[in-house]
Structure formats: structure tokens, C-alpha cells
Amino acid sequence: MKIFNVLAAAAASFFFGALWYMVLSDPWMAASGVAQGADGKPLNASNPRPHILSAVSAVLVAGMMRHVLAADGVTSISGGAIAGFGIGAFLIVPWMMMNNEFAGKPFQLTVIDGGYAVIGCTLMGTVLMAF
């Protein structure tokens, strides 16, 4: 039943992301350069593709995190949270920062997206070890 753990961890991160980006939508849109319509919403707001790919990506990350945590012998909720934090802060964020810097994006984009990656991975690790 480990697939349910993976799906629950992915869902926790995905729904946290929805809340994160609702709260930070204005600074994120400014930093990312997403084109906006007259209503202030992204022009691609009705396109389901980003949401579908985000959900699939969350499942892939949660699945790999489960594998890494199991291979490393992590069995506690706190261990899962610490490992998730480390994965977000020391693997994902530096990669994002590198990509954003070469793309000439504002550092604020790395802070916003990186904050989501760190908290999202911490949640994933916590949920994976909670069951």
C-alpha cells in the first residue's frame, strides 16, 4: 500500500502549493514574468496543462522520496521531515536558483519557488513517514 503513501504525500504538497501560490500570486507573477490579462490573471489560467503536470511531478517527487527514505532507513516522522527539508533546501532550490540566474529571472522568483520546494518536500517527507 505504499502507493497510497506516495499519493497522500503528493497531494499534501500539491494542495499546499495551491495555497502558497494563491497568497503569493502577485509577487510570483511579477517575478516570473507571466503574461497577465486585463483581469490580472495569467493568460494561461484556463489551461489545465500546468496543473496536470504539477500533479504528475508531485507524484514523481514523492515516489522518489519514498525510495530514498526507505533506502536510507528513515522510519520516523521527524526523520522524514528533516530529509524532506534537506532535499528541498539542498537539492531542489540550488538547481532552481541556477536555472533562474541563467534565465535572468529576479532572485525573488527563487525565493518564492524555493520556499514552496522546501516546505512542500518537508510535507512530503512527513506524510510519507506518518503511515
pLDDT at 58 over 80: yes
- 42 located within any domain: no
pLDDT at 84 over 70: yes
Helix, strand, coil shares, percent, the chain, to 5: 80, 0, 20
Distance (Å, rounded) from C-alpha 65 to C-alpha 27? 29
Provide the pLDDT confidence category of residue 45 given band limits of 50, 70 and 90: confident
Q: Cα torsion for 105, 16, 63, 117, to the nearest 10°?
A: 30
CB-count exposure of residue 116 (10 Å: 0-12, 13-18, 19+): buried
Print the domain residue range for 73.
Answer: 2-25+47-130
Distance (Å, rounded) from C-alpha 131 to C-alpha 120? 18
Grid coordinates given for 52: 496536470
**Structural domains of the chain, count:** 1
pLDDT at 63 over 70: yes
Distance (Å, rounded) from C-alpha 122 to C-alpha 85? 5
pLDDT at 117 over 90: yes
pLDDT number for residue 44 = 87
- 31 located within any domain: no
pLDDT at 1 over 80: no
What is the DSSP annotation of 79-131? HHHHHHHHHIIIIIHHHHHHHHHHTT--HHHHHHHHHHHHHHHHHHHHHHHH-
- 37 located within any domain: no
pLDDT at 66 over 80: yes
The DSSP output letter for 12 is H
- 125 located within any domain: yes
Instruction: Tell me the pLDDT tens digit for each residue of 86-115.
Output: 999 999 999 999 999 999 999 999 999 999
pTM over 0.85: yes
- 38 located within any domain: no
- 32 located within any domain: no
pLDDT number for residue 40 = 86
